[in-house]
Chains A and B, each alone.
Chain A
């Protein structure tokens, strides 16, 4: 790919390598559910194009599984002096900068697979619904530590809405 965006901010902090397993698990599960759905349509619902749907689902799932490690590696964040930088995506790259003072609250979520692996997702919520900064796959102690750090930073840079 030519001309990808490069922010020149040095090394990104990456999420845990174990996060790949979470991505793979969720991809496999959604792939299985969708395959079952299209199988049902094909065999029980007697929909003649059902096999095509099934093929699409299977191929998409396989492609998603192949790029899963890269997708997991593409997620990065960085604590700068005054804002949190966040990035994700390979094909669809997304960079977000959130000033610490804009923090409204921080969510920590653990899904079933993440919990088995000792990982947690950290979500940074601002007054804008579209901010959408979620750092997934952080080791649980790291997530708690990052949360406390962010809250502390936000406190010292408190701004209005």
Chain B
């Protein structure tokens, strides 16, 4: 499963990381098995708990057995001993253990996966067979997750998510470096880079790998231990697959501050104040009811803190890669064009420090939780304005120019009345504070939506991902000649919308966006993102999918608006 380290240096001509070479033989379209420790890791917690339970129950007896303590009466073990059933008991235990191991072994045998040119498939189960298949061009994200226990064994989960609820294909567990290598390979296959080209890159190293099993045993063992330690300490980003430096570093104090200055803290303070008041006025039962929950919040903070530690984000040719976690780590790659909406937001409490958070909407959701126990939709837990523009240029590659960066930075803090199309003064009736800041601007194939004064927010929706568009006018809006616009994207924490815009402006926006969304969707080819840039692909025609016969008709209709 893992080639000796020496080979990595030997292959200096075509630098393939150990991970890549480990993965190589798994992408041949044949069925393969998972890491042998898989059943143990999946049921691992149960087993350890059971073992601990038995051990703690037998502690006295074990001590007695070795030291010679007085006899206890009346428990099952004594009963067994007194009736001379030891043999049967031992046989029973052995049978149960054997059955367990047999079942584990069978389930491991039956749990296979294969990676072909157009899909990742997993089949599993002994009595009830299941088979899952994820089409490569529909992949929304690939997550490599390493729970603490699995990390000790040097194993990792590969979680391939496609659009939909609970639509993941999970390869759990794989060797740690194999998981990284497989991710790179699956992404490469999904990107549509021609297979011949990939083979050319992998070719020289391919032949040598076969004879790599002859290393001496002792060398292998020390090597293994060293590698485990290295894996445990190594940063999340594989230097061969990503630019070595994460573009954003979150200092621990900033992370701590951002956690303490959250809405949750306010809630906790309110509860504490309520408790103090209750205790002062003699209602002591309140303490009993609420205090356990309050103590639970400590673990909440701790959990969030450790999970967000070692946050890293970097751009790779196959999309954005985000890593989190101190003990259990997760490291997800989102291929280009899988991000449906982005929101840069700033709660009031964060404003004095100039901190921001970035959230995204994606169609696929990894079953694993992301940073801070939040769903995997927080791209940047906390960061300053410079961090924001660095992350945005990764998340939205179209916004990487200086011009766009400046636009976004001013839009984030702007009070309104600038290059954005804003709301009229009468909107103050329903948005007394934020009417000036509310506004939108179309930039290329994306729309920027700005709102909120207390809770600042700037949403960016790539129009190629927009599902539908709504214009809404209630009775109050009608009296003031205002309208609301909602941009429907896949479900997620970002709900791009604009409240209280001028009604005729709203109609113009509706027309312009609906036309541009169609055009952008037609021009979009990110489901095979590698093909457009692959040198082997015939250049300009690759930009539009071949199954769309007509050119977009965006311009014909925008003239209708008066």
A37 to chain B, nearest CB (A): 28
A47 to chain B, nearest CB (A): 31
A150 to chain B, nearest CB (A): 14
Verify A126–B518 contact, CB threshold 8 A.
Answer: no
Verify A157–B522 contact, CB threshold 8 A.
Answer: yes
Verify A102–B467 contact, CB threshold 8 A.
Answer: yes
The reply on A116 being an interface residue by CB < 8 A is no
B-contact 0/1 string along A40-62, CB 8 Å cutoff: 00000000000000000000000
Residue count of chain A within 8 Å CB distance of chain B: 37
Which residues of chain B from 323 to 354 have a CB within 8 Å of any chain A CB? 337, 340
Given known A83-B518, A101-B521, contact A5–B475 (CB-CB < 8 A): no
For B478, give its contact among A2, A7, A95 (CB under 8 Å).
A2
A20 to chain B, nearest CB (A): 23
Verify B478–A3 contact, CB threshold 8 A.
Answer: yes
The reply on B491 being an interface residue by CB < 8 A is yes
Among B163, B473, B491, B548: residue with most chain A CB under 10 A: B473
* Range for the number of chain B residues in contact with chain A: 35 or more
Verify B506–A5 contact, CB threshold 8 A.
Answer: yes
B-contact 0/1 string along A107-149, CB 8 Å cutoff: 0000000000000000000111111010000000000000000
B443 to chain A, nearest CB (A): 20
In the assembled complex, which residues on chain B have CB atoms less than 8 Å from the CB atom of A159?
464, 521-522, 524, 545, 548
- Alpha-carbon gap, A161 to B518, bound state (A): 13
Verify B488–A92 contact, CB threshold 8 A.
Answer: no
For A128, give its contact among B467, B474, B557, B560 (CB under 8 Å).
B467
Verify B475–A92 contact, CB threshold 8 A.
Answer: yes
A4 to chain B, nearest CB (A): 6
In the assembled complex, which residues on chain B have CB atoms less than 8 Å from the CB atom of A4?
473, 478, 503
Verify B503–A5 contact, CB threshold 8 A.
Answer: yes
- Alpha-carbon gap, A8 to B510, bound state (A): 12
Verify A3–B503 contact, CB threshold 8 A.
Answer: yes
The reply on B453 being an interface residue by CB < 8 A is no
The reply on B527 being an interface residue by CB < 8 A is yes
Verify A82–B553 contact, CB threshold 8 A.
Answer: yes
Verify A158–B503 contact, CB threshold 8 A.
Answer: no
A-contact 0/1 string along B301-314, CB 8 Å cutoff: 00000000000000
- Alpha-carbon gap, A4 to B470, bound state (A): 15
Verify A126–B488 contact, CB threshold 8 A.
Answer: yes
For B473, give its contact among A8, A93, A101 (CB under 8 Å).
A93
Verify A7–B473 contact, CB threshold 8 A.
Answer: no
- Alpha-carbon gap, A93 to B482, bound state (A): 12
Verify A8–B557 contact, CB threshold 8 A.
Answer: no
Verify B468–A98 contact, CB threshold 8 A.
Answer: yes
Closest A residue to B470 by CB, please name it: A96
The reply on B514 being an interface residue by CB < 8 A is yes
A63 to chain B, nearest CB (A): 14
- Alpha-carbon gap, A96 to B468, bound state (A): 7
The reply on B179 being an interface residue by CB < 8 A is no
For B518, give its contact among A2, A9, A92, A99 (CB under 8 Å).
A99
Which residues of chain B from 225 to 264 have a CB within 8 Å of any chain A CB? none
Closest A residue to B140 by CB, please name it: A161
- Alpha-carbon gap, A101 to B469, bound state (A): 14
The reply on A13 being an interface residue by CB < 8 A is no
Verify A93–B521 contact, CB threshold 8 A.
Answer: no
A34 to chain B, nearest CB (A): 23
- Alpha-carbon gap, A82 to B511, bound state (A): 12
The reply on B500 being an interface residue by CB < 8 A is no
The reply on A16 being an interface residue by CB < 8 A is no
A152 to chain B, nearest CB (A): 13
Verify A97–B557 contact, CB threshold 8 A.
Answer: no
Among A91, A126, A161: residue with most chain B CB under 10 A: A161
- Alpha-carbon gap, A8 to B560, bound state (A): 8
A79 to chain B, nearest CB (A): 13
B-contact 0/1 string along A18-38, CB 8 Å cutoff: 000000000000000000000
- Alpha-carbon gap, A133 to B560, bound state (A): 24
Verify A94–B472 contact, CB threshold 8 A.
Answer: yes
B60 to chain A, nearest CB (A): 58
Verify B507–A6 contact, CB threshold 8 A.
Answer: yes
The reply on B481 being an interface residue by CB < 8 A is yes
- Alpha-carbon gap, A43 to B468, bound state (A): 49
Closest B residue to A5 by CB, please name it: B473
In the assembled complex, which residues on chain B have CB atoms less than 8 Å from the CB atom of A11?
none
- Alpha-carbon gap, A91 to B474, bound state (A): 6
Which residues of chain A from 78 to 95 have a CB within 8 Å of any chain B CB? 80-83, 91-95
- Alpha-carbon gap, A101 to B552, bound state (A): 12
A52 to chain B, nearest CB (A): 24
B493 to chain A, nearest CB (A): 14
B residues within 8 Å of A by Cβ?
137-138, 140, 163, 337, 340, 363, 464-475, 478-481, 483, 486, 488-491, 503, 506-507, 510-511, 514-515, 517-518, 521-522, 524, 526-527, 545, 547-550, 552-553, 556-557, 560-562
Q: Can you show 17 pairs from A to B with CB atoms below 8 A apart? A: A2-B481, A5-B471, A7-B511, A80-B557, A82-B515, A92-B473, A94-B472, A95-B471, A95-B510, A97-B510, A99-B517, A101-B518, A133-B468, A157-B522, A158-B545, A159-B545, A161-B465
14 more A-B residue pairs beyond the given contacts A95-B472, A99-B466, with a C-beta to C-beta distance below 8 A: A1-B475, A3-B480, A5-B503, A7-B511, A82-B553, A93-B472, A93-B474, A93-B478, A95-B471, A101-B522, A158-B545, A160-B137, A160-B337, A160-B527
Of all A-B residue pairs in the complex, the 9 with the closest CB atoms, nearest first, are A3-B481, A128-B467, A128-B488, A97-B514, A82-B518, A98-B468, A159-B521, A160-B527, A95-B471
